[in-house]
Amino acid sequence: MKPALKFNQTVMKKILAATGFMTVIAACNNQPNKPKVDTTPVLSQTNNSFPMPVDTIGFTTDAATRKYEKGSILIAKSDCLSCHKIKEKVVGPAYVAVAAKYPATNQNIQYLSAKIINGGKGVWGDVSMTPHSNVSPADATEMAKYVLSLKGVQ
């Protein structure tokens, strides 16, 4: 009887080992595969406006300004909107007023990019524009392009 008992013990060990291995595999695969979620704002197909957070600032767009979506997102994520709005003067001028004053030329884009980074005073009144030295030149350029794209927005 000993050989049969040894056979049963060997088989039982293999069964237990296989069961343990399968349990580990099942536990590792128990996590559902979650698709990556893109959190980048996307233009709505129905009203051509951004979902949060840009709608909360009165953002309007058309085909011409969609080209400068990156600049609008950078502005929405910055502190710019505490002093500027799209269509109304707050502390600083409305973006549409800036766009009306400066044609969208490379020279004006560079000028406004430098104003974003270095700040300024005197162009729109006595209140100084705070410097934003943490904004990269590339991002400031995108922001300036977006602001200038608002020319003619009502």
Q: Is residue 8 situated within a structural domain? A: yes
Q: Is residue 35 situated within a structural domain? A: no
* pTM over cut 0.85: no
- 137 and 75 assigned to the same domain: yes
CA–CA distance, 34 with 121 (Å, rounded to integer): 50
pLDDT tens over the chain, length 154 residues: 555 555 567 766 777 666 666 665 655 555 555 454 444 444 333 333 333 333 334 444 455 556 778 999 999 999 999 999 999 999 999 999 999 999 999 999 999 999 999 999 888 988 999 999 999 999 999 999 999 998 887 6
- 14 and 77 assigned to the same domain: no
CA–CA distance, 150 with 98 (Å, rounded to integer): 9
How high is the pLDDT of residue 65? 53
- 81 and 21 assigned to the same domain: no
Domain of residue 124 covers: 64-148
